[in-house]
Structure 1
Amino acid sequence: MPTENTDSTDESRTAATGTVVVLGATGQQGGSVAAALRADGWNVRALVRDPAGSRARSLAAAGIETVPGDLGDPGSLRAAFSGAQGVFSVQPNAGQAGAVVSNEDEVRFGTTVADIAGESGVAHLVYSSAGVVGATPTGVAHLDTKMRVESHIRGLGIAATVLRPATFMELLVAPDTGLDRGRMSFLMGPDQSHQVIAVRDIGRVAAAVFGAPERYVGRTLEIAGDALTGEDMARHLARAAGRPIRYSRLPEALLAREETLGRLAELAGGRLAGSADLDTLRAEFPFLLSFDRWLAGPGAGLLEEALRPGDAGGHR
């Protein structure tokens, strides 16, 4: 969590006149960072596999420079980082649905990005980790990759900031949470509190960090916008949906069968619950959305989609 003076004023932010390279800009998190940086006046350069693809074309239409490259190609990273003031680093991981990367791939990508940012003279690297990461392993391989990348970055001695986002609000309205059947299932118990953040706000926090390097270089920030129990989530969802929503923890049989889910459920009573200082964060980043505000705004379309009958068959 933030450990320094968090007073925030517009005057303390540097002018957004340089170029920031954003990795993963065709995805959720990188896309939110690219959009927030553009809104703040930065020149944004997105590394994309296929500049002719539909997502890359959408970025270009928004005024973002797209350059071809791949996290597995150090030469393309060097070319993309040339002349850049900042780099936002996020990598795909083996825990994502449909992932085609291994845990070792993620570590290799994350450490290579940091190495090349340092070699290229990038003034500020911002690495997106995860809220559950700490000084000791979690026992979940696709989360502990991020601890290894964080450690590598700190060992380089470069100007860097680590962001540790809480669980994404978007995950709470995923098709397989059961909302189309009037229920919602997730990792924690009905009375266990769990911190969450809107993906949009990760981008806005990253933009604020790039805008004030003198305040954020060398810091690790746990970031979240709200803390809710399972029952709180169900109440907010029911109000936004206009229909009853019942919350329950994921079925024990599923948690026993799926080793990673079971370990995550254990962590939900501890480290995965989050330990960000929400009052300090809201003072520093007043734009952070609570869950109910997110449901009424950026999340409204996702909730509507999740409520449609037959969107998914639920957890199996």
Structure 2
Amino acid sequence: MAPLQLLVVGATGKQGSAFVRAATAPVSGADPAFRVVALTRSPDSPAAAALRALGDCVTVVGADLNDEKSVRAVFEGAKTDGGVWGVFVALAFPGLGKDAAGEEAQGKLVVDLACEYGVRHLVYSSAERGHESRDEGATLSYLAKVNIERHIKAKAELGWTILRPVFFMENFKGTIGRITFAVLRAGLKKDTKVQLIASDDIGNVACAVMRSPEQYAGQAITVIGDHLTTRDMEASYMRGAKSAIPSIPNILARSLTAMNPGARSVVQMLESVNADLVERGVKTEERVARCKEIYPGMHDFAAWAASQDASAEQAAGWNGVSLWGLLSGKQ
């Protein structure tokens, strides 16, 4: 049987590229079950070249998610190889405190085209934000994700699974990571736990879901690898990396948080989600166990730390955040 064709939206990002690698890897020595159409706005980038290097099972295409015509052309072009069977969507985060109307429009466009072109299953990478009862108060990117989720659920003809990743472990990498950890250490209560996920694991979970879509159809799955206080993070990082987690002094972190509404909103969101989990008696260890059942290679924080190059800087603009934006209070 010919491989099924998957469209990956955001293919050169961390989640998307992990999905592409997983989807095109042979299983038990057999040929890959999937061919991948990797959609990116930068088809000439080094990240796109790395996807092409995976072999003939990957086709990199350029398209602008703000331009319906260019995205439609991708679906049309895939018809020659049997059409798009499945779609994985991981949209770029617009940045702390940034308007997310564009993100919402992009997500809804992909969903509408997936329905129009008869896609069998769509996996959308959204975000964990506590219980759905809190969705009415969502703003900015969280509101965009809530509205995209609702748009998906309204499509009776579309098979779907929603993934809700928690706080990225990659947020602790590089210079911005030093600031991020210090802001959380200074701002969170000592007993507040943060749900954590390695971004590559999201792509791997998504691929595992795509391999067994009937098993996960109609479900929203929290994607989590660990659940720790900041003190636990320090111990886990030391255990994995054999060195202290990089950070800036607390006094600097408090000053930055005081002038930066985006940083304050992150701390407030994590406190709110933690309180919601405690109030509702959510057993996060069960969430972690379920993710490990879906993808056994999930990283806890220590394992992630062990895999990192502590001297490496995070890619510029990672997750829509820049050093200047943080220091200037504009993010």
Same fold by TM (over 0.5)?
Answer: yes
> Which residue of the partner structure matches residue 289 of structure 2?
279
- Three-state SS of the structure 1 residue aligned to 2:311 is helix
- Alignment correspondent of 1:72: 66
- Residues 147-182 of structure 1: per-residue CA shift (max 9 Å, x gap): 111111111222111000111111122422338xxx
Q: Which residue of 2 aligns with 1:146?
A: 145
Q: How far 1:47 moved relative to its partner?
A: 1.2
Residue 61 of structure 1: CA displacement? Answer: 1.4
Match of 2:22 among 17, 31, 36: 36
Aligned to 2:5: 19
SS of equivalent residue, structure 2 residue 222: strand
- Rounded to whole Å, the distance in 2 between the matches of 1:118 and 1:62 is 29
Q: Which of 116, 128, 131 in structure 2 is aligned with 1:131?
A: 128
Aligned pairs for 1:203-282 within 5 A: 203-245=203-245, 251-271=253-273, 276=284, 277-282=287-292
More helix by share: 2
TM-score of the two chains, using structure 1 as the length reference: 0.81
Shift of 1:19: 0.9
Letter in 2 for 1:152: H
Alignment match, 1:55 = 47
Compute the displacement of 1:313 (Å): 9.9
Post-superposition offset of 1:290? 0.9
2:100 to 99, 103, 110: 103
Distance 1:144 1:260 in 2: 16
Contact 1:192 1:229 survives alignment (8 Å)? yes
> Secondary structure, in 3 states, of the residue corresponding to 1:268?
helix
RMSD over aligned Cα atoms: 3.0
Q: Cα offset for 1:240?
A: 4.1
Contact kept, 8 Å, 2:260 with 2:326, in 1: the verdict is: no
Residue 200 (structure 2) pairs with residue 193 (structure 1): no
Contact 2:40 2:63 in 1 (8 A): yes
Determine the structure 1 residue equivalent to 2:93. 93
Pairwise CA distance, 1:34? 1.3
- Cα deviation for residue 132 of structure 1 reads 1.4
For residues 251 and 218 of structure 1, the distance between their equivalents in structure 2, rounded to whole angstroms, comes to 41
CA contact (8 A) 1:50 1:68 kept: yes
Contact in 2 for aligned 1:22/1:87 (Cα 8 Å): yes
Q: 1:184 to 1:314 in 2, by over 3 A?
A: farther
Q: Give the equivalent residue in structure 2 for 1:294.
A: 304
- Is 165-174 or 75-84 further displaced after alignment? 75-84
Identity of paired residues, percent?
31
TM-score by length of 2: 0.77
Contact 1:131 1:272 in 2 (8 A): no
CA shift digits 1:219-253 (9 cap, x unpaired): 11111011111001112223444444587698444
Task: Specify the SS of the correspondent of 2:161.
Answer: strand
For 2:23, give the aligned amino acid.
L
Cα 1:87/1:173, change in 2 over 3 Å: same
Q: CA deviation at 1:54?
A: 2.6
Corresponding position of 1:120: 117
**Secondary structure of 1:261's match?**
helix
Q: State the distance in 1 between where 2:251 and 2:265 align.
A: 14
The number of residue pairs the alignment matches comes to: 289
8 Å Cα contact 1:24-1:47 kept in structure 2:
yes
